[in-house]
Amino acid sequence: MRQKVIFGNWKMNGTNAELVTFLKKVDKAAKKSDVVAGLGLPFTLLSTGIEKAKNVKIAAQNVHFAEKGAFTGEVSISMLQEVGVQYVIIGHSERREMFAETDETVNKKATALLAAGMTPIICCGETLETKEAKKTVTFVNAQIKKAYKGISAEDALKTIIAYEPIWAIGTGKTATSEDAEKVCEAIRKNLTKIYDETTAQQITIQYGGSVNPSNIAELMSQPNIDGALVGGASLKADDFIALINYKK
């Protein structure tokens, strides 16, 4: 059975003091939760997160695929490893839209992270225009195929996929649980084509896009949704605790 994995994504929010206060409450709840709980933090909060979180996994929100070099403003995999980071969110729609990330760079990052023994959380998702044109599955499957190019089945098992429809991120709009399930099911079928049924059935697929305590249980009840990547609702400790305790 696939492990349930719920990660918060703080994006460009939070201070070290706020994180310490947050983790005092959340870390205790995470210890008792049935799900793997995690937080995607800005680079400046990673060291504090690693130090203070005992039961919450800590993820970076980006990384460069090169080992080192003249890449002003970027952070390398070895730099993240030095502070103890294991998970990295890559290919988030905000990175794609604002910083010109492509499927090819996502693939390079995923490949480099896996080679370093780290866990990439690979984001995918369609725009409203793509959705209205009824091309969601075709678009998302193309993203996945490119992201996993050259990655072995063995390494694919070490990845997490986060399906985040762009039109639902930060808008308050959420795909219905049925619609989210259809796309996640299509992603799993696509993984079966890329690899095989056994591999596809073991890869964790999260849903993201205006997930909150009131809709998390319905989303998580779907057979192909194994977790969530949560933005705004992860900034408040009580909300995040409600998310990771959705079964209770």
Q: Is 167 annotated as a binding residue?
A: no
- 129 catalytic, yes or no? no
Q: Is 69 annotated as a binding residue?
A: no
Q: Is 170 annotated as a binding residue?
A: yes
- Beta-bridged to residue 89, according to DSSP, are 121
| Helix segments in the chain, DSSP class H | 16-32, 46-52, 77-83, 93-99, 103-115, 128-132, 136-147, 153-156, 177-194, 197-200, 216-220, 237-244
Q: Is 10 annotated as a binding residue?
A: yes
- 164 catalytic, yes or no? yes
User: Which candidate in 64, 92, 94, 181 is catalytic?
Assistant: 92
User: Which candidate in 94, 126, 164, 181 is catalytic?
Assistant: 164
Q: Which residue has the tokens 């305590």?
A: 213
* Non-local CB neighbours of 193 within 8 Å, separated by 6+ positions: none
CA distance 202 to 199: 5
148 alpha-carbon distance from chain centroid: 15
Q: Is 231 annotated as a binding residue?
A: yes
Residue ranges of the binding site:
9-11, 170, 210, 231-232
Residue ranges of the binding site for substrate:
9-11, 170, 210, 231-232
Residues with catalytic annotation?
92, 164
